Amino acid sequence: MSQLLNNGEISSVDLTRAHLDRISEVDGQVKAFLFVDHDGALAQAELVDAKRRSGENLSPLAGVPLALKDVMTQRGIPTTCGSKMLEGWRPPYDSTVVTKLRSADVVILGKTNCDEFAMGSSTENSAYFPTRNPWDLTRIPGGSGGGSSASLASYEAPLAIGTDTGGSIRQPAAVTGTVGVKPTYGGVSRYGLVAFSSSLDQAGPCARTVLDVAYLHEAIAGHDPLDSTSINAPVPPIVAAAKDGNVKGMKIGVIKELQGDGYQPGVLKLFNQSLEELAKLGAEIVEVSCKYFDYALAAYYLIAPSECSSNLARFDAMRYGLRIGEGSAEEVMNSTRSAGFGKEVKRRIILGTYALSSGYYDAYYGSAQKVRTLISQDFKDAFEKVDVLVSPTAPTTAFKIGEKSNDPIAMYLNDIATIPTNLAGVCGMSLPSGLAEEDGLPAGFQIMAGAMKDDRLYKVGAALESALTKKWGGGILGKAPKLVAK
């Protein structure tokens, strides 16, 4: 699309209108978007076209449309976080990610659906409606960023922004056959990202190919003085690595603890076939043990709810957002939070408040932080032996909508392979490994690298993507979702 725009074969207005038409055509089925900024997107596109006509030097993504997860603030545009608590709220400021997208002249189509306050693995916890998987409309598109991944898989948008607290970019990418990256913690600014778990949240790029993700990653990355956790260091050479794709001589570590029981046979078969392709390209495949990964899920579900309990205390019915009831401040706050939060958000607030309470803090939250340190040490030890670590992204393909909604533990297990990278602050990518033989649905291959070694994800990802495209033919997965097969 970028080449067509640069060559003058199409205009940004034409490209944007085509995607808006596509949204009108299929989003009634997919339900990827909470808000479509029809007029704003076309106005942005007209400005980009004017800049291009005047001969301005534009970024590689100038004029290309993008879908934005509805946990990132965008001035004047409804930002709900998938919650009734913020229904109708229009932020007075842009997040840094949006500021960088504007600087790159990317056209923002609208805001995508997500689990409420990014808490979930299926986008069923949205207060508005569940999003559906374009490969099978009876199935989930992953979560919490299912709206962004579904918009890509249904060709409603070529680029998207997600956020990843425990796998919310990578797990949706896996089950929709798209590509998503959780950058190194602090590699992309969190300013304007509505906080769920401040030590885990990370915004990141999503697209349908590794190179597309690389261009978007470079556009949004970099130090931001507005974010105290932002890393003040050069952005790794991400696009160059994606164009290189040479893994000859690289050591790739297969994590022993992230396969076996609980993993769908078809998912594991595709994972092993992907390893064979990397070996053919000259990579050395070795097994690595990260023994404390077995405790990652339990540690995460103490740390994340604890930070959620603290962060969501700001929704108190006093300053902004929903306000219900009359009487004392406590009565109004109780009525508002009871009505405004969904059951999963309430569950995590209660868990987190309990874990932080007097007499339990050291036993729960304190212990979880010790486990987090051990997991970080596992990564450090592993990266002294190998260049990257790999695993299946998710244990299964997309499950049916409603199948796990009444079983929180079964739902949480979807993130068993993605959570360790968030706890350690390192980076991770998911790209498609093929279609599972049991159900013909996409599976994901996860690549993990050390802090600020994001370029390694792209080098290995590009190599595998190229090999699998040749293997399957007709694109990395061999075919498109039924919804877009025509």
CB count within 10 Å of CB 18 equals 14
- Per-residue model confidence (pLDDT) at position 309: 96
- Active-site residues, by number, are 69, 144, 168
Tokens of 129: 């409606």
In tens, the pLDDT along 211-234 reads: 999 999 999 999 999 999 999 999
Could you write out the DSSP letters of every residue in 77-103? S---TT-GGGTT---SS--HHHHHHHH
Strand order in the sheet with 159-163: 33-36, 107-112, 65-69, 159-163, 203-207, 179-182, 427-435, 442-449, 388-392, 251-255, 284-288
Give the separation between CA 215 and CA 192, rounded to whole angstroms.
22
Q: Which residue has the tokens 């979560």?
A: 143
| Chain centroid to CA 116 | 14
Phi, psi of 188 (to 5 degrees): -125, 135
Tokens of 460: 């290995």
- Per-residue model confidence (pLDDT) at position 336: 94
Q: What is the mean pLDDT of residues 298-324?
A: 93
Phi, psi of 115 (to 5 degrees): -60, 145
Four-residue CA torsion sign, 415, 418, 422, 428: negative
Percent share of the chain, pLDDT over 90: 93
Is pTM beyond 0.85? Reply is yes
- Per-residue model confidence (pLDDT) at position 484: 65
Percent share of the chain, pLDDT over 70: 99
* Residue 443, amino acid: A
Contact residues for 225 (Cβ-Cβ < 8 A; gap 6+): none
Structural domains in the chain plus CATH codes = 2-294+370-484 (3.90.1300.10)
In tens, the pLDDT along 92-150 reads: 999 999 999 999 999 999 999 999 999 999 999 999 999 999 999 999 999 999 999 99
| Burial of 137 from C-beta contacts in 10 A (0-12 / 13-18 / 19+) | middle
Give the separation between CA 94 and CA 78, rounded to whole angstroms.
12
Tokens of 31: 């339900």
